[in-house]
Amino acid sequence: MASRPLFNAPAQNVPYFVPQQYPPAGTAFDPQPDGKPIPSLFKPLRIRGVEFQNRVFLAPLGQYSSENGVVSPWQLVHLGGILTHGPGLTFTEATAVLPEGRATPNDAGIWTDEQAAAWGHVVQFAHSQNQKIGIQLAHAGRKASSTVAPWVAAPGTVSAVGGGWPDDVWGPTEEPFQADYPTPKALTKTGIARVVKGFVDAAKQAVRAGFDVIEIHGAHGFLISSFYAPSNTRTDEYGGSFENRVRLAVEVVDAVRSVIPPTMPLFFRVSATDWLEDGQGPRWRLEDTVCLSRVLVAHDVDFIDVSSGGLSSSARVVPLEYAPGYQVPFAAAVKAALGDTAFVGAVGAINEGKLAQSILDEGKADVVLVGRMFQKNPGFVWKLADDLGVELHQSVQIGWPFQGRAKKAADKNDYS
């Protein structure tokens, strides 16, 4: 076993100096200094050709801070501050595949070379830290150009004067998401083909930019989920029956899988329920999500990322709104149905280590995805480890002041 280097070794394949990070931040010491077993939350996970050092993933976090779809140093700093603390996988915010597919004028995009190059700088930094990074590809559908950034005091549709495109909004039908949103145009088959090609071209750009994982956004009332929702009343092969309503999702999955490396994991985010109650119209139910998940896995999706809501503006999250783990039962149902045929991620106010670990121990999911808690604390992985009494490797610049018991364990490891 080699000893630690006697100099400040540089990261490889980076056009600037940053120290080598080996093992990556977020990796549990093995063995643990106290000799206790490593809980599964901090055990590695391999999906296709990618290994993640733990099972705490950063969920996509909307930043609404791009111009013409081009991300800025904000995303580098925002994501960099999180990934240097070592989630197993760091996801970008939802990134539009077409200009009219943005939810707001300040959404990120990846339909041009300039946008892909800007994301490439973020990917390069992530890899300089020996971390994995994924991109979530999205088309907002009838929610596109419908709002300003959520922190702006006067919400509402963005006019063309303000940089919006209210006359270029598309959905399965002409039904708007809600009364004060733009009235969409129903996508023709030519338009659907354009959307599928948009996802394909974006996936190619993502591969060239160096992303490790691609996730297709099929949730929250965005385009794909608005097609599979029962409110899709189209009368052609893209509406009506369940098989027809999920057709767009399947076409996008097949097309994206055909242009990415076979070693690259493909994730898909679903809305497990629309949270509608009896009497509020046709409902998308958990059992529909289970059926959709089986279809997606049959089309080579590796990971089902189980969220909920956003399909209907009249819905309300009823049971214990935003209580810790409130969406975990949805993931548990999907995992029970899929078994070992695919990986499943649970989301929903997962705010402390024992809760996260119990989700895995009880077989409800393979991974936890956390969003808002990382906004509050970029070192949230470290917090979860502390909750469970687990010692983690940290980025060398961050971890060295905390050396002690962990340093003794580190000295036994191979740093060559």
Q: What is the pLDDT of residue 313?
A: 78
Q: What is the pLDDT of residue 410?
A: 46
Q: Which two tokens stand for residue 316?
A: 């309300």
Rounded to an integer, what distance in angstroms lies between the CA atom of residue 256 and that of residue 92?
Answer: 18
Question: Is 4 a domain residue?
Answer: no
Handedness of CA 108, 113, 118, 124 (dihedral sign): positive
Q: What is the pLDDT of residue 276?
A: 81
Q: Can you give the CATH number for the domain in which 357 is found?
A: 3.20.20.70
Rounded to an integer, what distance in angstroms lies between the CA atom of residue 310 and that of residue 151?
Answer: 18
Rounded to an integer, what distance in angstroms lies between the CA atom of residue 63 and that of residue 71?
Answer: 10
Question: Is 223 a domain residue?
Answer: yes
Write down the pTM of the prediction: 0.94
pLDDT of the chain, 416 residues: tens digit per residue:
344 567 899 999 999 999 999 999 999 999 999 999 999 999 999 999 999 999 999 999 999 999 999 999 999 999 999 999 999 999 999 999 999 999 999 999 999 999 999 999 999 999 999 999 999 999 999 999 777 888 886 656 777 767 889 999 999 999 999 888 889 999 999 999 999 999 999 999 999 999 999 999 999 999 999 999 999 999 999 999 999 999 999 999 999 999 999 999 999 999 999 888 777 777 899 999 999 999 999 999 999 999 998 888 777 665 556 789 999 999 999 999 999 999 999 999 999 999 999 999 999 999 999 999 999 999 999 999 999 999 999 999 998 888 655 445 444 444 33
Question: Is 17 a domain residue?
Answer: no
Question: Is 28 a domain residue?
Answer: no
Question: Is 245 a domain residue?
Answer: yes
Question: Is 159 a domain residue?
Answer: yes
Q: What is the pLDDT of residue 236?
A: 97
Question: Is 157 a domain residue?
Answer: yes
Question: Is 407 a domain residue?
Answer: no
Our count of domains for the chain comes to: 1
**Residue entry with tokens 């119209």:** 281
Note down the domain range covering 214: 40-386
Rounded to an integer, what distance in angstroms lies between the CA atom of residue 159 and that of residue 149?
Answer: 14
Q: What is the pLDDT of residue 278?
A: 74
Neighbour-count burial for 361-389, b at 16+ CB within 10 Å, e otherwise: eeebbbbbbbbebbeeebbbbbbbbebbe
